Amino acid sequence: MTMSPAKSSAELRQSLLGLLWQQWAALGIAGSTPPEGDWCVDLEALLLVTTTQARADPRLFDEVLDWLWGNGQWVNVQRLRNIHRRIALGDSRVLSAIADWLCQRSTLTKWKPLAAADGTNAENPEPLFRLKDGRPQPMFGEVDPIFQRHGLVRGPIKRRKLSQQPNPRPAAALSWKLRALFGVQARCDILLCLLTRGAGYPADLTRATFYFPRTVEEALKELAASGLVHTGHTGRKARYWLKPEDWQFLRTWSKPAGFPRWVDWPRLFCAQERFFGVLGNAELSPMLLSSELRRTFDELQAVLADGCLESAFTASRSHTGVDFTEALIADLHRLAGSV
C-alpha cells in the first residue's frame, strides 16, 4: 500500500474541501476562483455536505453563512430535508443551527422547520470546528448563543458581507438560473435533469431529484403541456425528454460545448463521506479496516446504483483482506479526480 488509509482519508478530504470551495465560488462566495468545470452545482447537496466537511475549514463555513444570509431564499428547503432524510447526507445538528441563525432575517422564515433545537444537544455541547485530523478545535472566549442552543460551541459570527448573488452565465450555475426563471420549485430540478441527464421515466426522475413521486408526475404533465418537453409511452410507462436545441437560450457559456454533464452530487457526497469516515479511523487494524470498508460498501450499494456510480468502483468481492482497502482507496482517488 503506497499510502496509509489515514493519510489517504486526509488527502481525499482536502480534495473534497477544494471542490466545495469551487462550487460555492460558482455561486458567489468570496475567497476562491470560480471553476471552469463541465458540471452544474446542486445547491442542496452542496449545503448538506458543507455541514460536515466545512467543520474542518472555519473560513469556508463562515463564508457560506455569509452567502446564505443574502441568498438563502434560493435554497429549496423541502428538497434539502428530503435528501437529508433519504440518504443521511449532512449533519442535522449543524443544519438546524444554521437554519436557526438564518431565521433572524424576516425574509428567511421558510427555514423555521429546520431550526428546532434538541435540548439534549445543548446539555452536551461540543466544539463546532475540528482540526484536520478530526480532533475538536479548542475554542476560547465568547460563545455564539444560537449555535450553543444546538450544542455547538463557536465564537460569535461576524459577517464579512463580501458574498454576491450567483453569476447566471457559467454552466455551473445552471440550476440557479432555472430557479431565477421559474421559481424555487420541483420543475427546475426536473428540467435540469432532462437537460443534463437525458430522457427518463417519472420513477427515474423522482430518484434523481429527491422529490415525491406525485410532485414529479404532476410537474412533468405541466411541462409536457408547454410543448417543449415531450412524452411517449412504452407500454403503460410514460417517458419524458426534451430537445436541447429548444433550450439553447439558456446556454451563456463557452465551455462545455453543450449542457453540463449530470453528476448525482447528493449520492456522490454521501458515499465519499461514509468511506472517508471509515478510512480516518486510526484505531482499526488493517484487517478490521478492510472488513468495515466492505460492510460500508455493501450498505451503499443502493445509493451507488441510484446515483449511477457503480461503474466508478473496481473494488469487489474478488478483492480480499487489505487488497480491498487498496482497491477502494484507488477508486476514491480516481473518482475525486474525475469531478
Predicted TM-score (pTM) of the model is 0.94
Give the model confidence (pLDDT) of 12-61 as tens digits: 999 999 999 999 999 999 877 766 679 999 999 999 999 999 999 999 99
CA-based torsion, 39, 114, 60, 272: positive or negative: negative
Tell me the sheet residues that pair with 324. none
Q: What is the pLDDT confidence band of residue 224, given thresholds at 50, 70 and 90?
A: very high
The larger pLDDT score, comparing residue 35 to residue 185, is at 185
Q: What is the pLDDT confidence band of residue 136, given thresholds at 50, 70 and 90?
A: confident
- Least confident interval from 167-171, 239-243, 276-280, 318-322: 318-322
Mean pLDDT of the chain: 92
User: 220-239: buried (b, 16+ CB within 10 Å) or exposed (e) per residue?
Assistant: beebeeeeebeeeeeeeeee
| Residue ranges per structural domain of the chain | 5-153, 171-250, 265-338
Give the model confidence (pLDDT) of 281-309 as tens digits: 888 899 999 999 999 999 999 999 999 99
d(CA 169, CA 176): 10
- Least confident interval from 47-56, 77-86, 109-118, 168-177: 109-118
What is the percent of the chain with per-residue pLDDT over 70, rounded to a whole number? Answer: 96
For residue 212, is it left (φ>0), alpha (ψ between -120 and 50) or beta? beta
Please state which of the four CATH numbers 3.40.225.10, 1.10.10.10, 3.30.70.20, 3.30.160.100 is assigned to the domain occupying 171-250. 1.10.10.10
pLDDT of residue 134: 77
pLDDT of residue 186: 96
